[in-house]
Structure 1
Amino acid sequence: MIAAFLQDRLEAKLSKLPTDDPKREDLIAQYQPAAWLEDAARRVRQIQAVTHALKAVHPDARGTNLFVEPSGMTPHAVVGSHVLGAGFASDVVGNAAALDVYKFLKLEVDGRALLDWLSEDDPAAVQALSDDETKAREWQSAFVGLVQARDEDVASHALAKQIYWLAGEDAADDAQYHLLAPLYATSLAQSVHEVLQEGRFGEANKAARAARREGREHEGVFRDYPALAVRKLGGTKPQNISQLNSERGGVSYLLGSLPPQWDLSVYRQFWGVTSVFGPVLMRYGDVRATLRALLRFLRKDPPSNMETRNRVDAYVDRLIDELVAMASEIRRSLPTGWTADPRCVLVREERFWLDPWRAEEDSEFRSGWLFMDWPAQIGHRFGNWLNGRLREHFKYVGEIEHRQWKKELLLDEDEAGWARALHELRTDLDAPHYIPTREGTV
């Protein structure tokens, strides 16, 4: 394995030289195992394995880097490097010209890096370095030093970040402050990078994204990371920051961390609107895309069989899911009692549906809410809305379809479905556990 690694690197260098170049003999001599390992054991001091790097804070900062395995960190409830476990990616900082030594030590044997075997004093790994045991032990010690604490004073730098942190109770007492020098958690950044790269460019998520855009069914999971920012570390020379930073092309992802902002447009869109079964619903989530997909399917004039009915039911179920999600979002984002505002002209049943907690404060509203005739009316309005959308393209849509859409909504007992959500609301508000409909009780 060692011989193959050295031979590959030698051939790469020789391929750039003419066959009669006198430097070829020198290169061949340099890449003999004993000679190269001797030189590598000397150069390994020029680099250091780290989990937390300083240069990412400022490229000209000079100070201490740290190598701390996640298992040795104090666990916290928030996400940090401690959650990485044993499969974390260590980084390397130092002289970029010595990074070939790190690549050598990362050679895998039986699924583990050569450096790991040497760190555990594996006899076979040590013997692979040299037949001379004294020389092999000397090189082993040098290579293992890559991940060991260096005998040097811990130091920060004028260009590094520093934070005074109050550790006591008296903010006026300077002695109660600790001076913190935060480092860049490069191993954690690498893990985040790998997850986001798969989410943004992985084949599985690309297929899910296409299905979402086209309104098609998809069994996989779609991942999206809104408000994602990219910070470039190292400029045109990302290798000056660290090895992993170089492999990422200097890209360091920053997740959106702004506080929630009140969207006045969400509040205003209900003023003067008599029903959400219109532009409000059409603008929500994937409603428009799902309707387009349903229309595309029906325009193909599919046969009247079970497969077609199941396909149509699946599209309608997705519309119901969006409807339930919209109602839940409205309840969360708008204050209790918003339907009492004079600017709200929603029909009675939609006020009961979208502002249920008003029943706790308004006795007249509670009386109407508890009567429980309004869920069937919501089902009726949903059927009218869907029929209206379909009738723009298919004139044969009528009462039979209307009853089917209404029934699907009122009997939706999925975990996040209409009926389940209504059952939970009725329990919270101590209301009757039934949904009146024109056909009976649900």
Structure 2
Amino acid sequence: MSEEQSQFQNWEQVIVHFFETKMAQSKLYKANDYVKKKQQEIKPEKDSKKKDKLISAKNKKLKELQELRGKAPLTEIREWLNKITDKENKKAPIKESHKISKATHVLKFSHSSAEAASIELKEKSDDLLLTTSSLKKRLVFDLAHNDGALISISRFLGLSLHQTQIVDLINNNEFDFLKAFKANDDEFNNWKEVLKNVVHLAEIKTADKAKQIYFPLTTPSQQISIKDTVYHLITPLFPSSLAEELFLTIDFIKYGEEQKSSKEQAKQEKDKPARYHPNTIINYTNLGIQNFGGEYPRNVSMLNADRGGRAYLFSSQPPTWQSQLKAPVDKESLFDYFSTPSLNNDIHYLREYLLRFERLGLSIKDPTREEWIVSKVQEDNENGFSSIIDEVLFYVGSIQNLRPGWTDIESIKLKDEHQYFLDPYRDDKAFQNQRKTRDWQSVIRHDFAQWLKRKLAGDKQFTPQHEHTRLWQRLFATPLREHCEMIELKPENTAEETQA
């Protein structure tokens, strides 16, 4: 990942900062880490003597760190460069066979045993597709290597200053960035030679381990040589640069302080009627994670190591199928059509609730207990009954928003009382007169109770009684009446506007 910082004026500062923050074995890193830990210990410390002691220790190490920064170019950084480029040392990280190349697409994501082949995207492609070139800002380039032991060197080559990486300088045969660290020309020339040999320009080629699938775009009747055949690449190389951009964006949204604060506030205020937060809360649904490299993600590439081998995947599932709402014209009762994915669970909860009464000897047949049972069912939102009522009335509301007059067909089998309930805006004087004068709500209550009774009887452990049917009618009466009152207050043209 890029180490470019706006405060850095030259390569010496960039590389010193790299050793201080990324090279865990360096003296710079250890001193900087000590200072940060002491700073964390100082903040919560309340004992003044202990706090003064911590501050003194931090300041002492900070002074040492500042001295190390001045000495590092000609000491440990120079020593590290000599170590990695020592051609006589068989344990040196860089071998003659080692290769590192700058890339946007890396072959080793397709197969861990593949060579470190890679492609560096430079040309703009079709904006109609989401590709690496779709990124509107400067790409974050990956570095592909054929040995995980090269990870520190790849990170070094990936350092950036003024939008130029060290790997670019080496490819352009520009080595002045190393002059601040040399003690003599001999070691400087050796650094140049070894680094030049290990850095390779990415080239377009494939291999059997790339797992790529090419589909010919010619017909059997065309007599074209294999060389001239045009193919469509169905399985392209893994876009590491695009994956990095997505990873950084999603990680910031999932774990950034601003989003964490917004989500925490929303969680605390979830029960308040009016909630507001100046920041937008973003969630990625059905987000997948693919891992590359197993226990050794550094064997794949530099960016893969920095991501811990993880890459986010957006869901490509097709939309969930939702059946079109159909007018209930082929059966006598609206309840014969009603079904939702959660209905069975709600029925189960209600059945268990009633069985609990039976086990406690609280018979619904006892008139003296009826009022108590009614109040318990109404008050307890966990028994499933209130959810059943809500789902029924939601379904009814959806039907009532269909085009007015949908019941005015000869072939309709729906009861008249159900028509009055479900088609309240039908433009028919005779229909509306009947709707206003007949007691159709009692039929709806009765049919609801019979439907619920059949649903509850689906389990052999529970046998609904006549008293249960009367109970459901009574409990449904108030929600039904309130719903119908709202319908009467609703302007008659609302349903037509909904359809338009």
- TM-score under structure 2 length normalisation: 0.46
Q: Identify the residue that residue 205 of structure 1 maps to in structure 2.
A: 259
Q: In 2, are the aligned partners of 1:89 and 1:191 still within 8 Å (CA)?
A: yes
SS in 2 for 1:226: coil
Instruction: Give me the whole-angstrom Cα distance separating, in 2, the residues matched to 1:144 and 1:270.
Output: 77
1:75-99 Cα offsets, whole Å, 9 max, x none, are: 3312110022453222223211122
Amino acid at match of 2:278: E
Instruction: Give me the whole-angstrom Cα distance separating, in 2, the residues matched to 1:270 and 1:217.
Output: 41
Report whether the alignment pairs 1:101 with 2:148: no
Amino acid at match of 1:255: F
Structure 1 stretches lacking a partner, 5+ long: 16-27, 275-279, 284-325, 353-363, 366-401, 411-418, 430-442
Q: In 2, are the aligned partners of 1:118 and 1:126 still within 8 Å (CA)?
A: no
Report whether the alignment pairs 1:54 with 2:104: no
Q: How does 1:124-273 map to 2 (within 5 A)?
A: 125=177, 127-128=179-180, 130=182, 139=191, 143=195, 149=201, 154-157=205-208, 159-170=209-220, 175=226, 176=229, 178=231, 180=233, 182-210=236-264, 211=266, 214=270, 216-264=275-323, 267=325
Percent identity of the aligned residues? 19
Q: In 2, are the aligned partners of 1:54 and 1:64 still within 8 Å (CA)?
A: yes
**Cα pair distance change 1:269/1:97, threshold 3 Å:** farther
Number of residue pairs matched by the alignment: 302
Q: In 1, are the aligned partners of 2:287 and 2:312 still within 8 Å (CA)?
A: yes
**Cα pair distance change 1:179/1:245, threshold 3 Å:** same
Q: Identify the residue that residue 126 of structure 2 maps to in structure 1.
A: 75
Instruction: Give me the whole-angstrom Cα distance separating, in 2, the residues matched to 1:269 and 1:241.
Output: 58
Q: Identify the residue that residue 89 of structure 1 maps to in structure 2.
A: 140
Instruction: Give me the whole-angstrom Cα distance separating, in 2, the residues matched to 1:233 and 1:125.
Output: 33
Instruction: Give me the whole-angstrom Cα distance separating, in 1, the residues matched to 2:220 and 2:183.
Output: 64
Q: Which stretch has the larger CA shift, 100-109 or 114-123?
A: 114-123
Q: Identify the residue that residue 396 of structure 1 maps to in structure 2.
A: none
**Cα pair distance change 1:197/1:156, threshold 3 Å:** same
Over the aligned positions, Cα root-mean-square deviation in angstroms equals 5.5
**Cα pair distance change 1:257/1:132, threshold 3 Å:** same
Structure 2 stretches lacking a partner, 5+ long: 1-12, 32-74, 87-91, 344-393, 429-484
**Cα pair distance change 1:205/1:173, threshold 3 Å:** farther
What displacement does 1:184 show? 0.6
Instruction: Give me the whole-angstrom Cα distance separating, in 2, the residues matched to 1:169 and 1:237.
Output: 45
SS in 1 for 2:111: coil
Q: In 1, are the aligned partners of 2:100 and 2:199 still within 8 Å (CA)?
A: no
Report whether the alignment pairs 1:32 with 2:84: no
Instruction: Look at both structures and tell me which one has the larger radius of gyration over its CA atoms.
Output: 2
**Cα pair distance change 1:35/1:162, threshold 3 Å:** closer
**Cα pair distance change 1:6/1:146, threshold 3 Å:** same
1:416-441 Cα offsets, whole Å, 9 max, x none, are: xxx9xx99x89xx6xxxxxxxxxxxx
**Cα pair distance change 1:348/1:236, threshold 3 Å:** same
1:273-322 Cα offsets, whole Å, 9 max, x none, are: 79xxxxx9xx9xxxxxxxxxxxxxxxxxxxxxxxxxxxxxxxxxxxxxxx
1:5-51 Cα offsets, whole Å, 9 max, x none, are: 56864438999xxxxxxxxxxxx899526624644995594332221
**Cα pair distance change 1:10/1:231, threshold 3 Å:** closer
What displacement does 1:127 show? 3.8
